[in-house]
């Protein structure tokens, strides 16, 4: 049975965002400056994930081949979401999928990249996207990008 690898990127940037958000005004900064720094950290995490996807040689946009399911919170507090990749091609393919975890207001909270290897022609394969930090509340997983190679 082929294994699915899960990779997450920019842990430092997202952890920094969490620290900034939790720090609030205690460091003398205004709430808006703290939110701005957190927003920049999240944007940096997204850019890093996209850059990783762009490094795949001979990749093809395959976002339409991927679906994200409902998010649940694992016992460790991390968000998990089932991912289904459907290979509509006539040859075996692998996929790299950017999964965005968002809150009920649509705010980006975390980014994970899931690699799904060796999906057989005209079949589907499941994987799991996992946040690399604890999340809570009503969350949604969204496919940000997907590359078939």
Reading the block at residue 105, the tokens are 């207001």
CA distance 107 to 119: 32
Backbone phi and psi for residue 117, each to the nearest 5 degrees, phi listed first = -95, 150
Q: Work out the average pLDDT over 90-98.
A: 96
* CA neighbor of 141 nearest in space, from 96, 93, 94, 108: 108
CA distance 41 to 83: 25
* CA neighbor of 65 nearest in space, from 86, 50, 81, 80: 86
If one compares 25 and 120, the residue with the highest pLDDT of the two is: 120
pLDDT tens-place string over residues 4-54: 444 433 333 333 333 333 334 344 555 555 556 657 756 766 777 777 787
Question: What CA–CA distances, in Å, run from 127 to 15, 67, 81, 101?
Answer: 24, 11, 9, 15
| Bridge partners (DSSP) listed for residue 111 | 100
pLDDT tens-place string over residues 51-70: 778 788 888 999 999 999 99
Q: Work out the average pLDDT over 65-85.
A: 97
Q: What is the pLDDT of residue 43?
A: 74
Helix (H, G, I), strand (E, B) or coil at 123: strand
CA distance 78 to 55: 27
Reading the block at residue 120, the tokens are 């057989």
What pTM does this model have?
0.71
Burial environment of residue 104 by CB neighbours within 10 A (0 to 12, 13 to 18, 19 or more): exposed
Q: Work out the average pLDDT over 84-98.
A: 97
Q: Where are the domains of the chain?
A: 4-148
């Amino acid at each position: 049975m082929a294994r699915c690898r899960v990779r997450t990127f920019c842990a430092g940037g997202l952890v920094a965002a969490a620290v900034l958000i939790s720090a609030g005004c205690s460091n003398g900064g205004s709430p808006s400056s703290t939110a701005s720094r957190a927003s920049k950290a999240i944007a940096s995490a997204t850019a890093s994930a996209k850059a990783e996807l762009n490094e795949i040689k001979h990749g093809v946009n395959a976002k339409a081949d991927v679906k994200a399911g409902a998010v649940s919170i694992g016992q460790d507090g991390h968000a998990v979401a089932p991912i289904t990749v459907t290979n509509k091609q006539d040859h075996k393919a692998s996929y790299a999928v950017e999964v965005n975890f968002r809150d009920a207001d649509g705010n980006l909270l975390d980014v994970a990249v899931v690699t799904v290897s060796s999906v057989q022609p005209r079949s589907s394969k499941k994987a799991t996207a996992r946040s690399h930090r604890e999340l809570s509340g009503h969350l949604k997983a969204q496919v940000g990008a997907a590359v078939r190679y």
